[in-house]
Structure 1
Amino acid sequence: MVAEEWGREAGNDGWHRRWEAALCRSYERADDVFKDNSLAPYSVGTTALVAILSPCQIIASNCGDSRVVLSRGKQAIPLTVDHKLDREDEVARITNGGGQIINWGGLRVGGILNMTRAIGDHDLKPWVIAEPEVTFMTRSEDDEFLILASDGLWDVMSSDDAVKLARYELRRRRRLPEKGDTPSSPACGAAEELVKIAYDAFSTDNISVVIVDLKAPRIRSLQNTEKRSSLPSSLAQDEKQM
């Protein structure tokens, strides 16, 4: 849907506005699918993340309580803000529109949902909307990876801790020798480790994690070669063997 909407005729408002419009239309189309009650009950819904990478930009959009976090120079930078009831702007939007926030085992829209935006959940429209928030981040040479995850991870782990753990796993797995014809990528292995840690921490929600490695293998290889060439020969040989 995103590819189709982006492929529509471009307007004159610039590429920022074009991406925002394409993403909003895509989320709206996905939300419309859930209007068919023969496919799913009106109580069914989902959060949704989209991350788009270009050579110079990271474009992130979110609807719900999933989150995109960028690791840049050891720093965790959230690129989306969760749509939860701890946001005053979201609570105001709902209550000003006639919706109710009820404390039922925690604050919930209509006493049912603890998210303020979602695809689906048509029994809570128009208060729970499917409109995403879109952010733009200029890429840097210090960018290492992205974490895209559902709240099953974020309920038991902060953005900072997730980045620290993922960074450690990525560095460790990049040093492992390849085994077999189709080895698991370091990013996949690091994502699996975050899922395991969240599960062991007794997360009670769905746990979905994707890690996007922003350091291309060719670039990493060149950086390692440059690093070894700047070391005394004995140290370079030791590092190569590690």
Structure 2
Amino acid sequence: MIGKREIFNKMKPNFWQDPESAVRRAYCITDTTILEKAVDLGKGGSTAVTAILINCEKLVVANVGDSRAVICKNGVAKQLSVDHEPSSEREHIEGRGGFVSNFPGDVPRVDGQLAVARAFGDKSLKMHLSSEPHVVMETIDDDTEFIILASDGLWKVMSNQDAADAIKNIKDARSAARHLTEEALARNSSDDISCVVVKFN
């Protein structure tokens, strides 16, 4: 178990002055902690997406890997995060001594193994991976309906707009997240499915 309170406390001193730098620092601390505890946690890794709302107006979204944040305003879905795919970061991976495989019938992979270019952990591949998050700020206004934070098990079988349309009439956020998870399963998603929905207004 990673000390979330400890990580947050290290992020806190400059969060209000410079939230982007604070979030980047928190991601770095998280990755370092996971690597240090690899004996207990295992050699694997994880993608991540986070969202912090400041004063009910400014949303700070960060991610590594292919966990995704999607915001819906006036019925229109907009992706806030970036899917860190090996093919789009080939130059960076090769610059660190790695390679990107692209076998027929398979997705591009770092060193023929990992299907994302950025992740926490993954100690055996860390020299060729980044844990630097993509960070973006989004204004929350009267048109904002909800945000979806979910792992790739959802996004492999649903588009951003599909997901937004599926829950637009569900008022309860927990019920909306459950519905998306069940829909992903019904569409035969074979990957991990984690989902959080935050409703506004």
TM over 0.5: yes
**Structure 1 stretches of 5 or more lacking a match?**
175-185, 216-242
Q: State the alpha-carbon separation in 2 of the partners of residues 31 and 122 from structure 1.
A: 10
Q: Which of 6, 9, 23 pairs up with 1:4?
A: 9
**Structure 2 stretches of 5 or more lacking a match?**
none
Tell me what 1:53 maps to: 53
Tell me by how many angstroms 1:40 deviates.
2.9
Tell me by how many angstroms 1:131 deviates.
1.1
Residue 191, structure 1, aligned to residue 177, structure 2: yes
Residue 103, structure 1, aligned to residue 102, structure 2: yes
> What pairs up with 1:176-215 in 2 under 5 angstroms?
186-215=172-201
Larger radius of gyration: 1
Q: State the alpha-carbon separation in 1 of the partners of residues 30 and 63 from structure 2.
A: 13
Tell me what 1:117 maps to: 118
CA-to-partner distance for each residue in 1:163-203, whole Å, 9 max, x for gaps? Answer: 011113x2xxx4xxxxxxxxxxx111111011011001110
Aligned AA (1:47): T
Q: What's the % identity of the aligned pairs? A: 35
CA-to-partner distance for each residue in 1:199-221, whole Å, 9 max, x for gaps? Answer: 01110100111000111xxxxxx
| Misfit runs of 4+, over 4 Å | none
Tell me by how many angstroms 1:86 deviates.
4.3
Tell me what 1:25 maps to: 25
Aligned AA (1:164): D
Looking at both structures, which has the greater relative contact order when contacts are Cα pairs under 8 Å and sequence separation is at least 6? 2
* 124-133 vs 138-147, which moves further: 124-133
> What pairs up with 1:155-234 in 2 under 5 angstroms?
155-168=156-169, 170=170, 174=171, 186-215=172-201
Q: TM-score, normalised by structure 1?
A: 0.75
Tell me by how many angstroms 1:125 deviates.
1.4
> Partner of 1:70: helix, strand, or coil?
strand
Q: State the alpha-carbon separation in 2 of the partners of residues 5 and 133 from structure 1.
A: 20
On the 8 A contact 1:152/1:205 being kept in 2, the answer is: yes
> Partner of 2:188: helix, strand, or coil?
coil
Aligned AA (2:77): A
On the 8 A contact 1:101/1:110 being kept in 2, the answer is: yes
CA-to-partner distance for each residue in 1:77-113, whole Å, 9 max, x for gaps? Answer: 11101111342xx122112322101135321100000
On the 8 A contact 2:60/2:137 being kept in 1, the answer is: yes
* Counterparts in 2 of 1:6 and 1:187: CA distance versus 1, 3 Å: same
Q: Aligned pairs, how many?
A: 192
Q: TM-score, normalised by structure 2?
A: 0.89
Aligned AA (1:61): A
CA-to-partner distance for each residue in 1:4-49, whole Å, 9 max, x for gaps? Answer: 13322x39xx83xx2122111211111112223321333x100111
Q: State the alpha-carbon separation in 1 of the partners of residues 72 and 65 from structure 2.
A: 21
Residue 68, structure 1, aligned to residue 69, structure 2: yes
On the 8 A contact 2:66/2:116 being kept in 1, the answer is: yes
Tell me what 1:222 maps to: none
CA RMSD between the two structures: 1.7
* 108-117 vs 77-86, which moves further: 77-86
> Partner of 1:126: helix, strand, or coil?
helix
Tell me what 2:133 maps to: 132
